[in-house]
Amino acid sequence: MIDKLLPCLLSGVSVGGQYALIAVGYTMVYGILRLINFAHGDIFTAAGFFMVYLAASLPLSLSLPLVILLTVALGFAVERVAYKPLRSAPRMSVMISAIGVSYLLQNLMWYITGGLAKQYPVIPWLSTSIAIGPTSTKIVTLFTPVLTIILSVALVTLIRRTKIGMAMRAVSRDFETARLMGIKIDSVISATFIIGSFLAAVGSVLYFSNYTSVTPTIGAMPGLKAFVAAVFGGIGSIPGAVIGAFVIGICENIIKMLGYTTFSDAFTFALLIVILLFKPTGLFGEKISEKV
Amino acid sequence: MKKILALCLVLVLSLSGAAFAQTIKIGVFEPASGDNGAGGKQETLGIEYANYVVPTVEVGGETFDIELVIVDNQSQTDKAVSAAQSLVDAGVSIVLGSYGSGVSMAGGEIFQSAKIPAIGCSCTNPGVTSLCDYYWRVCFLDPFQGTVMANFAMDEKAATKAYVLTQLGDDYSTGLGFYFQRAFAALGGEVVAGEFPEGTSDFTAYLNNAINDGVQVFFCPTSTTSAALIIDQAASLNVPFALMAGDTWESSVILEAAKGKNVEVFCSTFFDEKDESSTIAAEFVAGFKAWMNANPDKLTNNGGNDIVAAVSALGYDAYMVAIEAIKTADTAVPDALTLILPSVVHEGVTGAISFNEIGDANKDMAYIKKVNNETGAFDFVKTQSVADLG
Amino acid sequence: MSHVLRLENITMQFGGVVAINDLSMHIDQGEIVALIGPNGAGKTTAFNCITGVYEPTNGAVYFNDQCIVRNQPTGRMKKLYAGDNRTPCEGPRIAMTPDKITKLGIARTFQNIRLFKSQSAFENVLIGMHLRRTSNPFSATFRLNLQEEKQMRQQAMELLEIVGLGAFAYEKATSLPYGQQRRLEIARALATQPRLLLLDEPAAGMNPQETDELGEFIVRIKDDFKLTVFLIEHHMNLVMDISDRIYVIDFGRQIAHGSPAQVQDDPEVIRAYLGEEEA
Amino acid sequence: MKKSTRMIIGFLLLALLFLAVWLIERAMGTNSMVITVLKKGAVYALIAVSMNLLNGFTGLFSLGQAGFMLVGAYTYAVFTIPMAKRMAVYQYYQGGIIQFEIPFFLAILLAGVVAALFAALIGMPVLRLKSDYLAIATLGFAEIIRAIIQYDKLGPITNGSNLLKTYPTFTTVLFPFVVSAVCIGIILLLIHSTYGRAFKAIRDDEIAAEAMGINLFRHKQLAFVVSSFFAGVGGALLAMYQGTVQANAFKSAMTYEILLIVVIGGMGSVSGSVMASFLFIACSEWWMRFLDSELMIGTFKVPLLRSGFRMVVFSILIMLVVLFYRRGIMGDRELSFDMFRRRKGVASK
C-alpha cells in the first residue's frame, strides 16, 4: 500500500504546491477587486514561454530573473490596460474583460509559437532525479512544497506587518472608505497584481521543470483549479488558498491512482460545488452580507 | 456599407475561381498547430516536395499547373470543420490529409456533403474510410498496427501484462489503444487501461500505477506533445518497462525527449528511410533530403534535421495517387475522380498502393523502430507483416 | 384581539451588535402608525425583519394572526446572544421569504429608492402586479392570457394616474425627479395589492410643500385602498399630522409609545433626540 | 404606425430575408463560404440569444452554455444515427445499446428537453449562489457534464470520447434559419410577457424584485431551464451544421466565445445578439481568413501574416469593444421601426 501511496502523495503535494502559488494570486485579486482574474492562468503560461525563449539565448542566471521581471510587467500591464478603465463599471463587465484578456493572451501565444508545444529548458539542480524509498522523482517535486510554504509565510508577514500590507487589508475591507482615508487605491491594486504575477512566475518555473512542455492553453486548467483552491480555502485568505491547493493536488492524484482518470478534472469542480453549497465562504472565509 | 463590402467580397471570391482556369487545386488538410502540429507539418512537407517534383499534369492534351491550397485544421475536430469548409470554398478538386484520425473524420463529413474525394495519408482509424464514401487512404489501419505491436510486445519483450494509456477524445489514440488491447488480450496477455484528458501534463500517476501493476510494456499511442512529457517523466521515475507507441511517435520530438535518458522506446511506422530495397524509395529519400537541405524553412518544419519521416513519404504517395487519378480520369472534376479512385494503382515510396472496396490501401507491412538513447536517432528493429503474424 | 401586524420580542443581532433589542409592537386595521428614532436606531432593520429580508435572532412577527417570522438563538448565537429577552419565544422556526410575505399582503418602499432602473415607470408598476397573475409561463409566452394582460396594463395606468405620474408613464424610472421616484415606489407597492403598506422615509428629500402633499396623499390612499400604513419618517410635522400612534426607538430599544401628543412630551424622547443635558 | 401594421411589416421583412437567403443559396451553391457563414451564424444566433436570456435579461452570470449545448448535440446525434451505420460509429462498443432511431425533428426537440432537464437538476443547487460564484459553479458543471459524457463506461450510449457522425444534417440553409427564427421568436414572446418583466426586475434589483413578491428562485430556475432548452436545441443544430460531434470541442472556450458575441451585440438585446452572431462568424470564418495565410505582393512578403494572426487581430478587436464600447452594438435596445423614426425626428428638429 505504501508503495502505491507514496508516489501518489509526492506528486500530489508537488502539484498542490504549484497550484498554491497560482491560487494566491487569485485570492489576493479577488479579495481586493472582487474579480475572478481569468487571465491569471494565462500569465502563468506566458511565464513558461518567456523562459523557453529567453533560455534559448541567455544563460540561466540571467534568464531566470528576467522571466520573473517580464511576468510581473505583464501582470501589471494587464491590470492597467484591461481592468483599470473599468473600475466604476459593473462587476460583470470587468469579468468579461478578464475573459477577453485570457482569450487574447491565448491567441497571441498561439500565434507566436505557431501553436506547437515548446520544450522547457532543463534547470540543472531542479530537474535531477533522486530516489526516495521505492520510487524516484525529480528534486523539484520535493522542493516545490517547501518553497511554497516559505513564500506564503513571507507573504502573510508582508500583509500583516508592512504599510502596503495594511493598505491592502483596508482596501479589501472597504474600497470606498479606504480611498477616502487617502490610500492610493491604484498603487495597492498594482502591488497586488505584481505579487500575484511574481508568484505565478515562480510557480511556472517549478511546474514546467516538472512537466517539461509548454503549450498556449496549458495554463487554463491549472488556473481554474487554483481558483477552486482559493474558493475552497475561503477567498481572500492566503493560508486558505494554500491549504485548498494542497488538498486539491492530493485528492486529484488519489483519484487518478484509483483509476477514475476521466474524472480527475471533474472532481475539482464537484468539490467546488459541494463547498459552495455547504460552506459558501470556504474554510477560512468571512461572511459578507449586503446592506438593504 | 457593410452590404456593399459583403457583395464585393462575394464577387471577388466567385471571380477568383474563374480567373485561373489553367490550374488544378489540390487541398492540403493538415494540422500546422496544436497537439499534432509537428507531425502535420512533416506530412505537408512530403506533399510539397511531391508538388515540387510533379508541378503540372496533362489533362485533355493541355498542361495544368497544380496549386496546393494549404489549411491548418489545428488538430481539433471543431476547427477542422471550418478548415475543411474553406477548402471546399476554394474549389479544390481533391483533398490530401490529414495527420490524425479525428480531424479526418470530422473533415470527411464536409467533403462528403460537397462530394469532393479525399485521400488520407496517415490517419489509421478504420472509421475514416468506413464511415465516409469519399475517403481513401494510403496507409495501414489501426487493427493491423495494434496487432503488430501486441505481437511484438509478446514475442520480443516477453510481456504478459501491459498498460494502455490513451487520450480522451482523440480518435487515433483511443482507436489504436483499443485494437492493441484486443490483440494483446487475444494472445493471452493481461491489460490495464488508463485515459487522460486533453491538456494533461502530469503523467506520473499513470506511470506509477503501471509500476505498481507490474507491467512489462506501457503502450501509449498519443500525440507527440504528450509523448515528450511521458518520456521525460518515465525517465525520472526510472520505470522498469518499455514504452511503446504507434506511428505518431516516429518524430524528432520523441528523439529529443529520449536522448540521453534511461528509457526504452519502441514505435511502429509505415516506412524506413534506411531501407534501400526499393529504388523508388531510395530516390525519394535522396531527393527529399536535398530539397529540405536547400531550404532552411523546410528544415525547420521537419523539426530541425533532415531525417525523413514516414508521414512525409505517405504525403508524397498520396499526392502521386491523386495525380495518377487525375491522369487516368483525364479531368479534375471531383465527381470523376471519385469514380476513378477505386481502380487507381500506384507504385509508391511506401510500397504498392491499391484500394479495397472500403477505400483502404492494401498494405500489410509495418516497421518497428527503437530510439537509440545515445545517438538520438531511430534504430530499425524489424519489419512485420500480417503474414508473419500467422 | 386581532391586530394587522404584531411584533413579539424581536431582537436582531449582527455578530455581537444588537441592532434591535426586544421590540414588541402592534398595528390595527386602518391605522397610520409611525416608527421614529434617531439615525441608526434600527428602524429600517425593523422593516427588514418584518418583510423577511433579515431573519431576526429572536422573536416573532404575526400578520393578521398568522405567524410569518419566528426564530430563537441557536448554535453559536446561543452563547453570543446579548438581547434583553432571554426567554426565547415559543414554537418552531418560521422564516418566510420576502416574496411570500408580499404575497400575503405586506408591501414596502425603500429608504434608498430601489426602482427597476432600466424600466419605464409603467413597467415598474406592471412588475408589481406580476405576483397576482393567474397565467403560467406557457400561457404567458404564447399570449393565451391576453385578457389578463390587458387588465394589468389598465390597472397599472390607473395607479400611475393616482400617484400623479400618468404623464410620465413611459419615462425611464431613473430619469424622474427624486420626489416622483418616491411616489412611483408607492405606486409599485400598491400594485401588489397590499393590506399593509410599509413606507421607509417617504418624504426624504422633499421640500415642505411636497411633504404636505405627501401627507394628504398617504391619508387618501389609506382610505381608498383600505390600507393600514406603517411608516418610518424624520419629518416630524408629517409624522405628527397623519399618525394615529407613534413608536419611538433608540439604540434598538423602544423608549416611548403613544399618540403624537404623548410622544412629543415624553422626556425620554427629547433626551434621545437632543442628547443628555449636562448636569 | 399602428401596432398591427408594424407586425405585418415585420413579418414581411422576415419573409423577404428568408427569400433572400434562399436566393443566395440558389445562386452561390451550397458549398460557398457565404452559405457556411449563414448556416453557422443562424445556429450561433440562437445560442447567443439563449445565453442573453440568462446573462442579459435575468442578470444571471452563467458560464454553463457549452455544457447544455453538449447535452443537446449528443442527444440529437445519439438518437438519429441510422441503424445501418451504428456498428461502424460505435466501433469499440459493438454498435452501442441504443438500437433504434427517431425522426430528426423529434430529436431536435428531445435535445432541448434533455438539456432543460439537466438544467433543472443543476439549477437547484447553483442558482442560490451569487454572481461570480454562480459563474464558476456553472462553468464547473459544464466540465463535469463533459467528463461524464466522455466516461468509458457510458460508451455504449455516448460512444465514449469518440466522434459521433453519419446522422442527418442540413440539406438547405433555410432549415437553421427557420428553426432559429421560431426559437428566437418564442424567446422574444417570453421576454415581453409578464415573466420577462419579472426577469428584468431580478436583473435590475434582486432585493426590490423579491419585495415585489417575485419568487427569485422559481423565476431564476425558469430562465435557466428555458435558456438551456434553447441552448440544447442550438447544440443539436450545431451538431447538424458540423456533421460530426465530439465532447472534446465543448470546452469553456466555447462558452467564452458565445459570451463575447452577447457582449458585442449588447447585453439585453435580442437583435444585437443576432447581428453580432453573424458578424462574429463572418469575421472569424471568412472576412479575416486572409490574415492567416502568407501574402506576397510582388517580392515583398507582408509581415505578420501567418497562421494564428487572424485570431490575434480578432481578439484585439473584441478587447476594444469590451473596453471602449461596453454597450455593444445595440446596448439594451432592440432594432425597431421607432429607432429609425426617432432618429429622423431628432434630425428634423
Give tens-digit pLDDT for A233-260. Answer: 888 888 899 999 999 999 988 888 887 8
Distance CA C85, CA C21 (A): 8
Most confident of A18-27, B122-131, D219-228, D241-250: D219-228
State how far the Cα of A102 lies from the Cα of A220, in Å rounded to an integer: 9
Residue B9 has pLDDT above 60, yes or no: no
| DSSP element (H, E) containing C236 | helix C236-242
Q: How confident is the model at residue D348 (pLDDT cuts 50, 70, 90)?
A: very low
Alpha-carbon distance of D153 to D160, in angstroms, equals 7
DSSP C11: E
Largest pairwise CA distance in chain B: 72
Quick one: average pLDDT of B83-109?
90
Band of residue A194 on the pLDDT scale cut at 50, 70, 90: very high
C and B touching (3 or more beta-carbon pairs closer than 8 Å): no
Judge: D212–C97 Cβ closer than 8 Å, yes or no: no
Reference A230, options D131, D251, D132; nearest CA is D132
Closest residue to B131, CB basis, from D88, D242, D292: D88
Q: C119, D186: Cβ pair inside 8 Å?
A: no
Q: Rg of chain C's alpha carbons, rounded to an integer?
A: 20
| CATH code of the domain made up of C1-105+195-279 | 3.40.50.300
Give the three-state DSSP class for B378.
strand
Query: What predicted TM-score, i.e. pTM, was given to this entire model?
Result: 0.91
Residue closest to C33 by CA, chosen among C263, C278, C242: C242
Q: What are phi and psi of A275, to 5 degrees?
A: -60, -45
CB burial class (10 A; 0-12, 13-18, 19+) of residue C275? exposed
Q: Do A101 and D319 touch (CB under 8 A)?
A: yes
CATH number listed for the domain at residues A2-278: 1.10.3470
Percent of chain D with pLDDT over 90: 50
Round the average pLDDT of chain B to a whole number and report it. 87
pLDDT score, position D279: 93
Chain A: closest CA distance from residue C13 (Å) = 13
Angstrom distance (rounded) from CA C139 to CA D48: 25
> pLDDT-derived band of residue C279, with 50, 70 and 90 as boundaries?
very low
Task: Kindly list the residues from chain A whose CB atom is less than 8 angstroms away from the CB atom of residue D252.
Answer: 220, 224
| Banded model confidence at residue C277, pLDDT cuts 50, 70, 90 | low
Q: Can you give the CATH number for the domain in which D179 is found?
A: 1.10.3470
Domain assignment present for D54:
yes
Q: Is the distance from CB of D179 to CB of D239 less than 8 angstroms? A: no
The yes-or-no verdict on residue D1 having pLDDT over 70 is no
Mean pLDDT across A215-244: 88
The Cα B198–Cα D64 span in angstroms is 19
C-alpha distances in Å from residue D161, one per residue of A269, B105, D92: 20, 14, 11
Residues of D whose CB is below 8 A from A270: 140, 144
- Look at residue D8 and tell me if it is in a domain: no
In chain A, the percentage of residues whose pLDDT exceeds 70 is 96
3-state helix, strand, coil in chain D (%, to 5): 70, 0, 25
Cα A174–A178–A179 angle (5° rounding)? 120
Provide the residue type at D325 as one letter: Y
CA distance A6 to B17: 65
pLDDT tens-digit series, residues A130-167: 777 777 778 888 888 899 999 999 999 998 888 888 88
**Is it the case that residue C98 has pLDDT exceeding 80?**
yes
Q: Which chain D residue shows the shortest CA-CA distance from C124?
A: D201
> Percent of chain B, pLDDT > 70?
93
- What are the residues whose beta carbons fall under 8 Å from the beta carbon of A193, sequence distance 6 or more? A29, A75, A76, A78, A79
Between A65 and B387, the more confident residue is A65
For C143-178, what is each residue's pLDDT tens digit?
888 899 999 999 999 999 999 898 999 999 989 988
Distance between CA atoms of residues A231 and B229, nearest Å: 30
The confidence score (pLDDT) of residue A279 equals 81
Instruction: Give the up-direction half-sphere exposure of residue C26: CA atoms within 13 A in the CB hemisphere.
Output: 11
The predicted-structure confidence for B156-201, as pLDDT tens digits, reads as follows: 888 899 999 999 888 889 989 999 999 999 989 999 988 888 888 8
Report CB contact under 8 Å: B229, A212. Answer: yes
- Percentage of chain C lying above the pLDDT 90 cut: 54
DSSP helix/strand/coil, B338: helix
Cβ proximity of B354 and B362 under 8 Å: yes
Query: pLDDT tens-digit profile of D147-176?
Result: 899 888 888 999 888 889 889 988 888 999
pLDDT in tens, C55-74: 998 999 999 989 999 988 88
Q: Kindly state which CATH superfamily the domain B2-140+278-359 is placed in.
A: Response regulator (3.40.50.2300)
Does A257 contact B at CB distance below 8 Å?
yes
Cβ-based contacts of A99 with chain D (< 8 Å): 256, 259-260
B45-49, D213-217, D294-298, range with the lowest pLDDT: D294-298
Collapsing DSSP states into helix, strand and coil, what is residue B141? coil
CATH class belonging to B142-269+367-389: alpha beta
Pairing, β B190-196 against β B161-167? parallel
Tell me which residue of B106, B36, B75, B28 sits closest to B246, measured CA to CA.
B36
Q: What is the pLDDT of residue A127?
A: 76
pLDDT above 50: residue C53: yes
Q: What is the pLDDT of residue B362?
A: 86
> What are D5-45's pLDDT values in tens digits?
888 888 898 899 889 888 888 887 777 888 889 999 999 99
Q: What is the pLDDT of residue D342?
A: 53
**Cα(B315)–Cα(B298) distance, rounded to whole angstroms?**
15
**CA distance linking residue D110 with residue C105, whole number of Å:** 41
Bridge partner list, B365: B385
User: Do D243 and B81 count as a contact with CB atoms less than 8 A apart?
Assistant: yes
In angstroms, the Cα distances linking C58 to C5, C53, C55, C82 are: 17, 15, 9, 11
For residue C59, what is its C-alpha cell?
422573536
In terms of residue numbers, what domain contains D114?
Answer: 33-348
Determine the distance in angstroms separating the CA of D215 from the nearest CA of chain C, rounded to an integer: 6
B329-367 pLDDT, tens digit each: 998 899 999 999 999 998 888 888 889 888 888 887 888
B90 touches chain D (CB under 8 A): no
Region D298-327: mean pLDDT is: 83
For residue A174, the Cα-to-chain-centroid distance in whole angstroms is: 24
Tell me the mean pLDDT in the region D309-321. 89
Rounded Cα distance between B352 and B357, Å, is 16
Phi and psi torsions of B319, nearest 5°:
-60, -45
Residue of B32, B199, B235 lying closest to A217 (CB–CB)? B199
Query: CB–CB of B199 and A220 under 8 A?
Result: yes
Q: Please compute the mean of the pLDDT values over residues D202-230 and round it to a whole number.
A: 95
Three-class SS of D266-281: CCCCHHHHHHHHHHHH
* Rounded mean pLDDT, D132-144: 88
Contact between B337 and B326 under an 8 Å Cβ cutoff? The reply is yes
Question: Does the structure show a pLDDT above 90 at B2?
Answer: no
d(CA A176, CA A185): 9
Q: Cell match 444534417: residue? A: D169
Q: How far is C240 from chain D (nearest CA, A)?
A: 28
Q: Does C51 touch chain A (CB under 8 A)?
A: no
For residue C249, with 0-12 CB atoms within 10 Å meaning exposed, 13-18 middle and 19 or more buried, which class applies? buried
Residue B33 contacts D where some CB pair is shorter than 8 Å: yes
3-state helix, strand, coil in chain C (%, to 5): 40, 25, 35
Q: Where are the domains of chain B?
A: 2-140+278-359, 142-269+367-389
Total domains present in chain D = 1
User: Strands B242-245, B217-219: parallel, antiparallel or unpaired by DSSP?
Assistant: parallel
Domain ranges of chain C: 1-105+195-279, 114-193
Nine-digit cell at D291?
Answer: 490574415
**Rounded to an integer, what distance in angstroms lies between the CA atom of residue B58 and that of residue B3?**
41
Kindly tell me if the per-residue pLDDT of C41 is higher than 60. yes
- β-pair type (B242-245, B265-269): parallel
Residue D5 C-alpha cell reads as 401594421
Helix (H, G, I), strand (E, B) or coil at B74: coil
Instruction: Give the lowest-confidence range in A169-178, B88-97, B283-292, B326-335.
Output: A169-178
In contact, B94 and B76? CB cutoff 8 Å: no
Chains near C (3 or more Cβ pairs under 8 Å): A, D
pLDDT for res C269: 85
Does the pLDDT value for residue D3 go beyond 80? no
pLDDT for C185-236, tens place per residue?
A: 999 999 999 999 999 999 888 888 889 999 999 999 999 999 999 999 988 8
Check if B216 contacts D (Cβ < 8 Å). Answer: no
**Chain A residue nearest residue D152, CA to CA:** A262
Q: Number of Cβ pairs closer than 8 Å across C and D?
A: 105
Return the pLDDT at D64. 92
In angstroms, what CA-CA distances link D29 with A86, B113, B160? 46, 12, 57
Checking if the pLDDT of C9 tops 60, the result is yes
**B71-91 mean pLDDT:** 89
Residue A10 vs residue B45, higher pLDDT: B45
**Whole-number percent of chain A with pLDDT over 90:** 33
Q: What residue in A sits closest to C49 (Cα-Cα)?
A: A292
Window 98-117 of A, Cβ < 8 Å to D: 99-104, 107-108, 110-111, 114-115
Confidence class of residue B92 from pLDDT cuts 50, 70 and 90?
A: very high
pLDDT at B19: 44
Predicted pLDDT at D345: 43
